[in-house]
Amino acid sequence: MPLEEHVAFLKPDDLSLEALLKQLPIPNRPGALVPPRFPPYFQTEDRERRARMWEKCAEPGSELAKKVQQIWIPLFTPPAPPTYIPKDVFFAKMNEDIQKRFADVTAAVEKIRSRGGKIVFIRFPSTGGLKELEDRITPREETWDPLLKMTGAPGIYYSDFPELSGFKCPEWSHLSAGDSVEFSKRLVSHLRDALNM
C-alpha cells in the first residue's frame, strides 16, 4: 500500500496568514467585484495528483452541489462596463482583446506544430445554468467555430456526439469521478479519429 494513502499532507500555502485571511467570512460590499468563495472540500487529489470532485458534491441535487452551482453564474458573468468609459469604446477594446487572444492561440498552435506536436481542441460538458450562461455570453459560433477555423485544428465538441452528450454535471461544471472516467473512455475513439491514428 502506498504511504500517501495513510498519511495526511498539509499544504503550507493553505496555512499561511494570507490564506487564512482569505477565508474570513467578510460580507460583500455593494458594487465590489469580489468573486464568490468555493466551499471547502470541493475536490480531492489522488496519489497521481488527479483532482476528483468530492462525492458529496457529485450527488445530484445535494446541498453542496447547489451551493457550488450558485458560484458559477457570478464568477463567469462579465462585469458591466465602467461608467467612465463610453460603451462603444469599451466593447471595441473587448473585441480587440478577444481577437488578440485568438491570434495568440493560433501562434501557440503553430509553435507546437513546428515541433511535431498535434493539437485537438476538446469542449467538455457543462450543464444547467452555467451552460445557459456560456451559450449566451460566449456562443459557439463566436468562440469555438472561429478558434477551429483560425488554427486549422480539429475539435471535439461534446454535444456533437450522442455518446458524449448524455453526461450531466452535478454542479454544472464538472463531471463526477465515475462519469469522468466513462467520458474519457468514450472520448478516446474520437481523439484517434481527430489525430488520424
Alpha carbon distance 101, 98 (integer Å): 5
Question: What does the domain layout of the chain look like in residue ranges?
Answer: 61-78+119-196
For the chain, how are helix, strand and coil distributed in percent, rounded to 5? 55, 5, 40
Q: Summarize pLDDT for 161-176 with one digit per residue, the tens.
A: 999 999 999 999 999 8
Give the Cα-Cα-Cα angle 67, 81, 130 (nearest 5 degrees). Answer: 30
Q: Summarize pLDDT for 89-130 with one digit per residue, the tens.
A: 999 999 999 999 999 999 999 999 999 999 999 999 999 999
Dihedral of the alpha carbons of 154, 193, 140, 132, in degrees to the nearest 10: -150
Quick one: which of 137, 126, 143, 141 has its CA closest to 79?
137
Alpha carbon distance 26, 20 (integer Å): 12
Do residues 72 and 137 lie in contact, with contact meaning Cβ atoms separated by under 8 Å? no
Alpha carbon distance 87, 80 (integer Å): 10
Which residues, in sequence order, are CB contacts of 36 under 8 Å at separation 6+?
70, 71, 74, 75
Dihedral of the alpha carbons of 102, 139, 185, 72, in degrees to the nearest 10: 100
Average pLDDT over the chain reads 87
Do residues 153 and 120 lie in contact, with contact meaning Cβ atoms separated by under 8 Å? yes
Q: Summarize pLDDT for 127-137 with one digit per residue, the tens.
A: 999 999 999 99
Q: What is the pTM of this model?
A: 0.79
Tell the residue number behind the cell numbers 469599451, with chain if given. Answer: 90
